[in-house]
Structure 1
Amino acid sequence: MAGKGNIFVSRQSWAAATPRLIYACLVYSMGSIFFGYDGASFAGVQAFTPFARKFGEFNAAKRIYALPPALASLMNSLALIGKFLGTLLVGPLIEKLGHKKTMLITCVTQIVGVIIQVTSSTPAQYTVGRVIIYTAVGLVENVVPTYQTEISPAPLRGFFVGSIQLFLTFGSLIAGIVNNSMSTSKTDAGWIIATALQVLPAIIILVGIPFTPNSPRWLVSKDRSEEALSVLQKLRREEDVANGICEFELAALREEGTKITHKQPWVALFNSKNRRRTGIAVSIMSLQQLTGVTFSSSYGPTFYRQVGLGGKAFVYAAVNNGVSVVTAIIGMLALDAFGRREVTFWGNWIQALFLCLIGGIGSKANRTQSETDGMVASFILYAAALHATLGPAAYITAAEIGTASLREKTMAFSTAINVVVGFVVVFTTPYLLSAPYANLGAKLGYVWGGFAALGAVWVWFCMPELKGRNLEEIDQLFDANIPAWKFSSFKTQGMSHDMALFENQNEKLEMDDLEHAEDVDANANPKV
């Protein structure tokens, strides 16, 4: 593998971001666009007058057409049934077919759902289309982060997996711009165009996906090690290929043998070895919903109208999404630079602050203009903090925390719980927000702010730091049964540790380590 003597790893982490790696991650990340677009699009479309006239009823008190709270609740929340179905299907699909074929199925499902929506003549038909689209969302929300987790070098995993939040917010931004331009349309063409544009990312992915490789870890789980090596050689730098680093990485994947590569059943998520991992993934994905992410994406314009800012509702929503795109980029960098744990901890406190400001300022009976501006700014800054911290951290943590034999199922189960919690949030929001029910209005900020504060406490005691650790090292960390706050200082052993040192360029790989790697590689895969 290498010559005699010590090897000092001096290359920069970003040198590992080869064009083929970037391309593969980019193509998959685009799936998050229609994930973000649909929720934000419908948040605006349901407030379009032609849409409300077609599917809603006339509100005599406000002299406008609108969806009744019960219908709005159903049309927003029932879509999550599709997302739940997608999360149930995605684990078996990935295990059997791999990420590429599952992504192709996802795109076709998305296109079918859009066709049903744009041809709708009843609320039921439109809602069926949303259910089908959200089935694709449930698939993509799992396919994208698990694929990027498995092909990315450890120092760049947070950046690439965190891109799901960037593309999600980018999709929301596009939806906000489209909604703002279509909101003045007096005909059905406005909401039809806004809805139909969801097919574009799916078409682009269908064109690009055949040129992406399968996950090397998935190939190893299928005992296709020679193909896995070929993929690694395409994803890694030419000098790393020439120096035998790909063989080293493959050997690290195989070091513990079939016990980490053969897939386990769903029930294994809750055994003594894995229940802690499952609990962390479920908790952080639930927390993402409980701080109001679905409220922000699904009811942004409705919230602005509810608190008397209807004239600029779509403009504020577009600004909100634009700022969130910028902060999502910051989050992609920060989660690898400062760590998942620290960024999420402080992000939760920031969210709690701005959510409580929304509740306090927005609940005033007679607000001044400066107070109104402060409430709008707080809403935007809350969303900005969410998309830079907890938003991407939830996907990254849920995708990387599962063991190799359960990674897809860990992600799928935590996403399914995320859907259930999101369903409760979306279903109850119209009743909490509006009269004649709870009529909390802006006071709803106190509810989400309270969960954000509790989330910060949970992060401190329960969320482990996995920054810079390769996926095989994470197994050792949990086997050690140490508290969450000690993960960053724990020293792992074996080839996975050596590979992490190489990837993180901060230690020396000694000759005896490399000779051990060659011995394991030869025993595990003599032909490779």
Structure 2
Amino acid sequence: MSAAAQGASTQEHDMTIKQAIRIYRPAIWWCYLWAASVIMQSFAIALIPSFFAQDQFSRKYGTLSSEEKYEIPAGWRAGLTVGALVGEMFGLVISGTASEKYGYKKTMIVALILTTGLIFIPFFAGNIQVLLVGQILGGVPWGMFQSMPSSFASDIMPQVLRPYLTTYINLCWVFGQLIATVAVRAVLSLDNEWAYRIPFALQWIWPLLIIGGIIWSPESPAWLVRKNRMDEATRSLLRLTTRGHSNFNVDDAILLIAETNEKEMRMSSGTSYRDCFRGVDFRRTRIACLAWLVQCLCGSVLMGYSPVVYKACGLDGVWAFNMTMIQYAINIVGTFLAWWFMHLSGRRSLYLYGCMALFVLLISIGSTAFTSSTNKPAQWGMAIQYLLYTFVYGCTIGPVCFSLVTEMSSMRLKTKTIVLARISYNIGSIIVNNLANYQLTPSPSGWGWCAKSALFWAGSTLACIIWIYFELPEPKGRTYCDMDVMFDHGISARKFSKTNVPELASRPRENGNARSTANRQNAAAENNGTELANMSERTNA
């Protein structure tokens, strides 16, 4: 590494949160704008499950039950939910390829235009079949929104701010769900089709507002460096930072990105999905995928069925709804607390101890469920424990996951790694949602486990604890170059936080064939050599 790039790395390591906020203030605001697409997506996804409890929606798209009530059949409920997830997986794959080829900015603009047009399908849907088509097609741009804001934030943020801006995306998910709940609640008094059409129409507000800002947004400097557009990368970073700081040099920062990119080009074979499963990159992909799967497997699926769970705890419908609204507030507070906890202890510790706390709470909730249904103190005890579960999840697993997934991959394969991790999460969500449906549905149509299902998820949470202990590394305080060095040397996950990277980098790799150094990688690096030399000369001058 050149002296200028090493200096930029040292400056990034030594940068305090206060200094980073002053220097990267414009970048923070751009991250907020990009993350607004997640609020839009969360709002759209939360509408359909909310409509299942709306009489007007059921009269339009449901069938008359034996009790003379209109209901959406269970099969169609599952289809509408899973259909969106299937569309999202296609969108994720598209975004991973398109954003690397055309850039984050152009891909985001296309996704926003696409979602604006696709909203017409559910808004005018005359039957449930057309509504399903709208969910599947609408899921495509939703999937694109799932990967790009986090990739963009992790690209433009220094390591000291990266966990805060990536976990902010979790806050956007909660905001979107809360706004959707309020929107559906506000139109309940309407006794016609506008009770569900108005919430659908509100979706048009989001892309129209966001696209106006994205057009003026700077492109990721890291992406521009990968395309050998060094001057544009410098101009982009200048737009993302403020001027006049003695502890920050734009040219040095770009040189660090370029040399990190060059190092990764020598160590890995490219930027395709196939490369995510080769050599050391396979370990990084596996960690990212399983880190996101932990969100599914730790029992969080029960939060998606909160009213059902609270009713199973013995609460009436009004209190079940009240407790669900309290959950959203707890999740918002939890994300803010997670920022403080990450500053104190790091991401691995929060994931590990968070899962341990959730395991204990799930055991307690499931055990309490065996008490008599007339035992009111026990029922309220379960409800309060479930709120405590939500609080722990909101402080640890929920927000921290977004930071971990973006930090595990190499810089060149980041978007595709995030895509694969999110696809893993979506597949896991399909499985756990189907399991939860059977667990929480009374017999004979379901298993009738109700709150006892917490014991089942305690078992899967225990498996998560074991995996976290042995395989999840600690990325706190590490730049992408640091992570590259430690993964390349095969450092154990439990030793990441204690490893001296400069000393490690000076030693030869123990596993010499960890990554291929074939001629095409060297040739690709040589193509970058002229640009790097020019950058070094300009910096030294």
* 2-structure distance, mates of 1:347, 1:193: 39
1:247 aligned partner, one-letter code: D
Q: Of the candidates 138, 156, 177, which is equivalent to residue 172 of structure 1?
A: 177
* 2-structure distance, mates of 1:377, 1:59: 35
Matched, 1:14 2:18: yes
**Matched pairs, number:** 501
Q: Of the candidates 10, 24, 38, which is equivalent to residue 30 of structure 2?
A: 24
Matched, 1:328 2:332: no
- State the partner residue of 1:421: 428
- State the partner residue of 1:103: 108
1:476 aligned partner, one-letter code: V
How far residue 95 of structure 1 moved from its aligned partner, in angstroms, is: 0.3
Matched, 1:260 2:264: yes
Q: Of the candidates 70, 73, 78, which is equivalent to residue 68 of structure 1?
A: 73
Query: Does the residue aligned with 1:456 lie in a helix, a strand or coil?
Result: helix
How far residue 253 of structure 1 moved from its aligned partner, in angstroms, is: 1.6
Query: Does the residue aligned with 1:281 lie in a helix, a strand or coil?
Result: helix
Identity of aligned residues (%): 24
Deviations 1:317-342 (A, max 9, x none): 22211211111122233224321101
Contact 1:229 1:250 in 2 (8 A): yes
Query: Does the residue aligned with 1:377 lie in a helix, a strand or coil?
Result: helix
Contact 2:368 2:382 in 1 (8 A): yes
1:54–1:312 CA distance, 2 compared to 1 (3 A): farther
1:94 aligned partner, one-letter code: S
Deviations 1:436-493 (A, max 9, x none): 1222222222222322232122211111000121112110110121111110111213
Contact 1:44 1:301 in 2 (8 A): no
* 2-structure distance, mates of 1:263, 1:14: 36
* 2-structure distance, mates of 1:50, 1:97: 43
1:315–1:30 CA distance, 2 compared to 1 (3 A): same
Q: Of the candidates 191, 196, 208, which is equivalent to residue 196 of structure 2?
A: 191
* 1-structure distance, mates of 2:261, 2:109: 31
Contact 1:176 1:314 in 2 (8 A): no
- State the partner residue of 2:60: 54
Matched, 1:159 2:164: yes
- State the partner residue of 1:508: none
- State the partner residue of 2:255: 251
Query: Please, which moves more after superposition, 308-317 or 228-237?
Result: 308-317
2:53 aligned partner, one-letter code: A
Query: Please, which moves more after superposition, 95-104 or 301-310?
Result: 301-310
1:316–1:200 CA distance, 2 compared to 1 (3 A): farther
How far residue 185 of structure 1 moved from its aligned partner, in angstroms, is: 4.1
* 1-structure distance, mates of 2:299, 2:184: 21
Matches within 5 A, 1:395-414: 395-414=402-421
- State the partner residue of 1:300: 306
Deviations 1:214-246 (A, max 9, x none): 111100000011111222223234233x66622
- State the partner residue of 2:145: 140
Which structure 1 segments of 5+ residues have no match?
498-518
Deviations 1:402-452 (A, max 9, x none): 112211111111111111111112234323321312222222222223222
Matched, 1:291 2:298: yes
Query: Does the residue aligned with 1:211 lie in a helix, a strand or coil?
Result: coil
1:34–1:451 CA distance, 2 compared to 1 (3 A): farther
1:450–1:16 CA distance, 2 compared to 1 (3 A): same
Contact 1:341 1:465 in 2 (8 A): yes
2:462 aligned partner, one-letter code: A
Query: Does the residue aligned with 1:47 lie in a helix, a strand or coil?
Result: coil
How far residue 192 of structure 1 moved from its aligned partner, in angstroms, is: 2.2
How far residue 363 of structure 1 moved from its aligned partner, in angstroms, is: 5.0
2:20 aligned partner, one-letter code: A
Matched, 1:374 2:374: no
1:78–1:256 CA distance, 2 compared to 1 (3 A): closer
1:28–1:332 CA distance, 2 compared to 1 (3 A): farther
Q: Of the candidates 351, 358, 368, which is equivalent to residue 351 of structure 1?
A: 358
Matched, 1:488 2:488: no
1:238–1:314 CA distance, 2 compared to 1 (3 A): same
2:336 aligned partner, one-letter code: I
* 1-structure distance, mates of 2:190, 2:362: 33
Query: Please, which moves more after superposition, 132-141 or 214-223?
Result: 132-141
Query: Please, which moves more after superposition, 441-450 or 46-55?
Result: 441-450
Contact 2:251 2:535 in 1 (8 A): no
* 2-structure distance, mates of 1:315, 1:178: 16
Matched, 1:384 2:383: no
Contact 2:122 2:134 in 1 (8 A): yes
Q: TM-score, normalised by structure 2?
A: 0.85
* 1-structure distance, mates of 2:231, 2:154: 21
1:185–1:223 CA distance, 2 compared to 1 (3 A): same
Q: TM-score, normalised by structure 1?
A: 0.87
RMSD after superposition: 2.9
Query: Does the residue aligned with 1:482 lie in a helix, a strand or coil?
Result: coil
- State the partner residue of 1:466: 475
* 2-structure distance, mates of 1:162, 1:46: 30
1:307–1:45 CA distance, 2 compared to 1 (3 A): farther
Contact 1:180 1:318 in 2 (8 A): no
1:73–1:443 CA distance, 2 compared to 1 (3 A): farther
Query: Does the residue aligned with 2:460 lie in a helix, a strand or coil?
Result: helix
How far residue 302 of structure 1 moved from its aligned partner, in angstroms, is: 4.2
* 1-structure distance, mates of 2:159, 2:274: 28
2:36 aligned partner, one-letter code: M
- State the partner residue of 1:505: none
- State the partner residue of 1:215: 220
Query: Does the residue aligned with 2:119 lie in a helix, a strand or coil?
Result: helix
Q: Which of 1 and 2 has higher RCO (CA within 8 Å, sep 6+)?
A: 1
* 1-structure distance, mates of 2:46, 2:300: 11
* 1-structure distance, mates of 2:155, 2:37: 17
1:72 aligned partner, one-letter code: R
* 2-structure distance, mates of 1:149, 1:96: 18
2:225 aligned partner, one-letter code: V
How far residue 67 of structure 1 moved from its aligned partner, in angstroms, is: 2.2
Contact 2:15 2:160 in 1 (8 A): no
* 2-structure distance, mates of 1:290, 1:414: 14
Contact 1:107 1:206 in 2 (8 A): yes
Query: Please, which moves more after superposition, 189-198 or 143-152?
Result: 189-198
Deviations 1:46-75 (A, max 9, x none): 1111112222234435x6433222222222
